[in-house]
Structure 1
Amino acid sequence: MALTMVCMLPATRTQAAQDFVVTQGRLSDTDFYRLVACAAPPGEACARAMLHWPADRPVTLEIASMDRAFLGGKAKRAEAALVRAVQYINDAGAGIQVAPVRDGQPADITIHFLDTDGRAPLAGTGIEGADGLTVTGARVIVWSRSDTREIQRATILFGTRLHIRHYESAMLEEVTQALGLLTDIRNPVYEGVSIFSQDSNDTKQFSSQDLMALRRHYPPE
C-alpha cells in the first residue's frame, strides 16, 4: 500500500494522485494494467496521465537517508530489500532496467527512511516535496514533464509504522510504482497476491498480472 503524489514539470501545479481504485473480482489484463497505470476503473477513462521513464538507460536509485530509528537490523533489512527489488524488476523481462547509483552521481529515485509514524506532517526534512506530507507506511512522489509525460525523478518515503517483515514487499511495490505504475487496487482477490494490493503487504514477488503490467508499460525490445 502506498500513497502517491505526482508533480508536473515545468508547470508548478501539483496533481493529486488517485491512491487506489476499488474493484470486485479478477480483472482482465487490460483492466488491471489501465488501473495501475492511469487509475482507470474497469471500462472507464483514465483518471490521470500515463507516465514513463525514458528507457534509453537504466533508472538509478539509492537509499539516500536513513534516520536513527532504522539503524541496526532494520537498516540491513531495508538494504537487502532494495537489492531484491532491483533483481526482481531487472528479471521481469520488461523494457526498463534499474540500477544502484554509482560514482557519486545523483540518483533518479531517492529513498528515505524517516522517523515518523504519520501522526503529524513532515517538517524540516530537507527533502524536496516531503515537508507537509504525512507518511505512515510508504509514500511515492514523482515529478514528470507536463508536455512529454516523461518522469524526471522520484522520491520514496518510508515511515516507522511499516513493520520490518513488510520491507521486501513494500520496497518492490514502491520502486515499481516510481516507474509509473502509481495506483493501487482495493480488491480481496488481489490481497496477498499482487504488490499493488491496497490492503496488504504480504507478497514479496510479482504476480503474473504485475509482470504483465510492467511489461506492457515498458514493452521488451
Structure 2
Amino acid sequence: MSGAASLALALSLALPAQARDTAADRNIANSGKMSDRDFYRAMACAARPGGACTLPYRRWAASKCSDLTVGIAFRSKHFPAKRAHAIEEAARAAIDQINKTGAALHLSYAGARPADINLYLTDTPVGGTVRGTPSMRLNGRRLGPGTVAKVTFYWQTNTGRITDADIAFSRDIQMRDIRSVVLEEIVQSLGFSTDLEDPYYTQSSIFSENGNSVTRLIGQDAMTLRSHYPPR
C-alpha cells in the first residue's frame, strides 16, 4: 500500500461514520390531538404515540446552535426570479419564527455565503430528479411524487450530531406555498425527519403532511423545538 493510500485509509478510519436523513421519508399516522410528549417524540425520533423510537435523536451541536446559518447556495438560471426572491424572504421569516420559539437556537441569514443549511433552487419539476447543481450529494436524488421541496441533513452516527443540511426546491413551487414550505424544510433540517398524517393538525402544525398553510411556530410546534433544544 502506498503512503498516500495509507494516509487516506487512516483519515477515513479517524472520521466518525456519517448518515443522512431525508425529512418526510417517514410519516406518523394518528387521529386527534397528541399529548406534548407523544407529539415531540413523533417528530424527533419517529415514535408512534405510546411506542418506541424508530430513529435516534439528531441535533446540531450546542456550540453551533448559537450561530446557525441559512443561505441560498445555488440558483438555476431556469428557476423563476420572482420565486427565488420569495424563497429568500421566506427563509428570513422562518429564521425569525425559529428564533422566537425560546429554543436554544439562533439562526441567521448567510446570503450567498457558505452556510450550514444550504438552499438549492433547482430546475427540477415537481416530483422530479435533481440535476445540474454543484452538489454531488443532491444530483440524482428524487423529490418524490407531488413534492416541491426536500431537506436532507447529515449526522454523525456515533453522536447524533448534525453537521450540515441541504434543501432542494423545485422550479414549480407555487408562490402561495413558499412561506409555509420554506419554514417546514428549515425546521426539519434541525433534526426532524417525520411528517404527521393527522387531520387535527392540518391547519395548526408545520409538520402536517396534508397542508401548506402554516407560517408561524406556535403551540406544539414551538414546544417541540424547545424540547429538542432546551433553553439554557
TM-score for both structures, normalised by structure 1: 0.88
Identical residues among aligned pairs (%): 36
SS at match of 1:122: coil
**In the alignment, structure 1 residue 117 sits paired with structure 2 residue 125:** yes
- 1:175 aligned residue (186, 190, 210): 186
Match of 2:73 in 1: 64
Gaps of 5+ in 1: 1-8
**In the alignment, structure 1 residue 152 sits paired with structure 2 residue 188:** no
Whole-Å separation in 2 of the counterparts to 1:58 and 1:35: 27
Whole-Å separation in 2 of the counterparts to 1:171 and 1:181: 14
Match of 1:108 in 2: 116
Q: How far is the alpha carbon of 1:55 from its aligned partner?
A: 2.1
- 2:90 aligned residue (72, 77, 81): 81
Match of 1:51 in 2: 58
Distance change (3 Å), C-alpha of 1:84 and 1:184: same
Aligned partner of 1:153: which letter?
A: D
- 1:199 aligned residue (179, 204, 210): 210
Distance change (3 Å), C-alpha of 1:132 and 1:91: same
Distance change (3 Å), C-alpha of 1:54 and 1:200: same
Residues matched between the structures, number: 212
Q: How far is the alpha carbon of 1:70 from its aligned partner?
A: 3.1
Match of 1:129 in 2: 137
TM-score for both structures, normalised by structure 2: 0.84
Q: Deviations over 1:162-209 (max 9, x none)?
A: 211111111111111101122110110010210000111111111300
Match of 2:223 in 1: 212
Aligned partners of 1:118 and 1:134 also within 8 Å: no
Describe how 1:7-22 pairs up with structure 2 within 5 A. 10-11=16-17, 18-22=25-29
Gaps of 5+ in 2: 1-14
Q: Deviations over 1:25-73 (max 9, x none)?
A: 1110000000011111111111111100012231111011122333332
Whole-Å separation in 2 of the counterparts to 1:94 and 1:119: 33
Q: Deviations over 1:94-145 (max 9, x none)?
A: 01111123794x3111001111114542234231421221123111111111
Q: How far is the alpha carbon of 1:160 from its aligned partner?
A: 2.7
Describe how 1:27-38 pairs up with structure 2 within 5 A. 27-38=34-45
Aligned partners of 2:205 and 2:221 also within 8 Å: yes
Whole-Å separation in 2 of the counterparts to 1:114 and 1:169: 18
**Bigger mean CA offset, 167-176 vs 13-22:** 13-22
Aligned partner of 1:143: which letter?
A: Y
Whole-Å separation in 2 of the counterparts to 1:102 and 1:168: 17
- 1:41 aligned residue (43, 48, 55): 48
Whole-Å separation in 1 of the counterparts to 2:213 and 2:20: 31
- 2:106 aligned residue (90, 97, 107): 97
Q: Which has the larger radius of gyration?
A: 2
Aligned partner of 1:23: which letter?
A: N
Match of 1:4 in 2: none
SS at match of 1:81: helix
**Bigger mean CA offset, 128-137 vs 180-189:** 128-137
